[in-house]
Amino acid sequence: MRDGLRDALKLVREQFQRDNLLQADGVMMPRGQTERRIHRDNEVAWTYRRTICGGPHAGVFSPKICHKCWDKGLR
């Protein structure tokens, strides 16, 4: 990633964190404060259920079945 884009993204993350009273360090960790705040504001994506296994769907892998159920042979 180019340095200019990386710096711009960090500034945007820092501003989002300040606006939401989070630690404004520009860092976004998986399941960290910033990611949880983003998804709290967009709860629809996190409450959608997969149609086969019924697990929560966050737009990753498949809207029908999670990777764990796929590995178990559910189709």
Give yes or no: residues 32 and 54 share one domain: no
Give me the tens of pLDDT residue by residue for the chain, a chain 75 residues long.
588 899 999 999 999 999 989 999 999 998 899 988 887 766 554 456 666 777 666 555 566 777 777 788 876
Domain hosting 59: range is 48-75
pTM of the entire predicted model:
0.52
Give yes or no: residues 35 and 59 share one domain: no
The three-state (H, E, C) secondary structure of the chain, written as one string? CCHHHHHHHHHHHHHHHHHCCCCCCCCCCCCCHHHHHHHHCCHHHHHCECCCCCCECCCCCCCCCCHHHHHCCCC
Total of domains in the chain: 2
